[in-house]
Structure 1
Amino acid sequence: MNDKLRIKFWGVRGSYPAPGAGTIRYGGNTSCVEISAGGRTIILDAGTGIIPLGRELMQRKRPLELMLLFSHLHHDHTQGFPFFIPAYVPNTDLHIFGPGGTPETVKHVLEHNQSAETFPLSLRDMASTKQIESVRESQVIVWDEENVRVVGSDSGLSSEAVVIRIHKSYAHPGGVYVYRISWRGKSVVYATDTEGYVGMDRKLVAFARDADVLIHDAQYSEEHYRGMLAGFPSTQGYGHSTAMMAAEVAASAETGELVLFHHDPAYPDDWVAAQEAAAKNLFPDSCAAFEGMEIALSQRELDRMDVKYVKND
């Protein structure tokens, strides 16, 4: 069994896809991150980045068992799911979790997204075996040698279990789940679509404490956020952070590395690079996510993989 927890970024933009010459370096697909832990594959969000990920997974030519975690159910985090090829394959097992007021909320949203009025193929037409469940913040998702299940606590679990804890952020309209994925003493926190405000989200800081990697929303520059950028209105209250807000959380939580995520689709590559530079001033171990970027964690040491921009044909 591979002893490394690996992270790969397939979509790093927010709001809507942004293809074009100005987004070549960081990529234009919307949110999708792949986590590999002990042979298990966990997918965070199903923006358009899940489409090339699905093609890559099909190259493995074996039955697939996958977990998909939705941070929330806004369109830019679900829009790639109808085009996710493994979901149409009968020998694929999909465990799908996300937020909702009832256990059926995620399923109902996915069904609506693929209703006859909006898409030619329904959720039922996807031939994979699907477990779809809305979970609560107080619950823990466990994937161990036996199965995938939702439990009330993380006590008494195998050291080989992948354990996923949940923190609900209320800074984004409708609320967003922040996930902490842990395996063999290594942990990754995925905090997209959250807004720092003044003084940070102290509950998020506590939730992310000592994480090896913090993936944090950093959609806007400080000038854009405060309405001081020509041509752009203030975005305070929109539920998204700046690079400095993300860096403040990483510094306060003493995380190993900060990955800036959910870049504004209007920002060309040089603007995203400027966000990265700003974050480094406060938290030196910061980087801006780009499509194809990989990070490997082993023995609580972080090794940046030598991966450049990967074009997904």
Structure 2
Amino acid sequence: MSDSNAQFTIHFWGVRGSIPCPGAETVRYGGNTSCIEMRVNGERLIFDGGTGLRELGQCLLDEGQPIQASMFFTHSHWDHIQGFPFFVPAFLPSNQFEVYGVISPNGATIEQRLNDQMLHPNFPVPLQIMQAQLKFCDISVGETVAIGDINIINALLNHPGEAVGYRVEWNGIAAAYITDTEHFPDRLDENVLYLAQNADVMIYDCTYTDAEYHSESSSKVGWGHSTWQEAVKLAKAANVKKLVVFHHDPLHDDDFMDDIGRKTAAEFPNSIVAREGMVLDLAEFKALELASR
């Protein structure tokens, strides 16, 4: 973990939705499912535990022990938790993790949901074999979690079975992580606007294109995901400084993602398509912004 007192970086470890899709046609953008890491003022925040979490775990092991981090889950669909059983740092007793999640509509806690996916016959060993110090923390929708002088805010998203998005604030910098949400046909989502308002970066669920979403033969309406066109509308309305296209459909190969990147940038110039391994330095962005005033 960095000792920098002015650090706010976002590291992308998994950028896909639904299911991992490794292969020659996805090598440039990556095939792992959702997992991002924020390093903020010496703290490590991990959002979602898709298969990208395994990659993050290997990187953490290379940095040495002990490891301390806070993990925040948006919800517990497979593509957001399936990397957790393969997160090697959680098996080592020298490490500490605080794990946050909103209680699901059926009353299940994040601990119960992570435990259930590791029960026989789904997995060979139970969650209890993990030897790290795991502290599970249930949070309410709308609750703010304070870690030092960092505030992590959540709001409910429009997704089957419910999900939450997060906003991380520190030292005048804000990043919004808004994935697994479906836009409304007649209005912009107030919760999304709340999380994204004046954010330095908005990471947004752009699983589909408008054409795919409204397809007469295979409509995606009601599936719980949004489009890059809706992301542009939200970014403009919320005065977002940088838009990150995220949660790529597994059927979208590298060339398809290149095309989405070009079209998104034409509508919102300060935008980028998330790639595995990509790092954004928000503290640097903020310093450049202040210097240009």
Report the TM-score when normalising by structure 2: 0.93
Inter-partner Cα distance in structure 2 for 1:237 and 1:11 = 24
Uncovered stretches (5+) of structure 1, i.e. residues with no partner: 145-160, 304-313
Query: Which of 208, 212, 217 pairs up with 2:200?
Result: 212
Alignment of 1:122-271 (within 5 A): 122-144=126-148, 161-169=149-157, 171-198=158-185, 199-227=187-215, 233-271=218-256
Q: How far 1:216 moved relative to its partner? A: 0.2
* DSSP-derived class of the 2:63 partner: coil
CA distance in 2, matches of 1:238, 1:213: 25
Structure 1 residue 4, shift from structure 2 partner: 2.0
Question: In the alignment, does 2:73 pair up with 1:88?
Answer: no
In the other structure, the counterpart of 1:60 is 63
Q: Percent identity?
A: 36
TM-superposed CA distance for 1:302, in Å, is: 7.2
- 1:265–1:299 CA distance, 2 compared to 1 (3 A): closer
Q: Structure 1 residue 299: deviation in Å?
A: 6.4
Q: Which amino acid aligns with 1:95?
A: E
Indicate if the aligned counterparts of 2:156 and 2:191 stay in contact, CA closer than 8 A. no
What letter matches 1:226 in structure 2?
H
SS at match of 2:262: helix
Q: Give TM-score scaled by structure 1 length.
A: 0.87
Question: Retained in 2: the 8 A contact 1:9–1:34?
Answer: yes
Q: Which runs of 4+ in 1 moved over 3 A?
A: 101-104
Deviations 1:153-173 (A, max 9, x none): xxxxxxxx111011111x210
C-alpha distance in structure 2 between counterparts of 1:276 and 1:185, whole Å: 28
How big is the shift at 1:206? 2.6
User: For 1:57 and 1:11, how far apart are their aligned partners in 2?
Assistant: 15
TM superposition shift of 1:90 = 0.2
DSSP-derived class of the 1:292 partner: coil
In proportion to residue count, which structure has more helix? Answer: 2
How far did 1:278 drift? 2.1
| Count of paired positions | 283
- How many angstroms does 1:184 deviate by? 1.2
Partner of 2:76: 73
Unaligned ranges ≥5, structure 2: 289-293
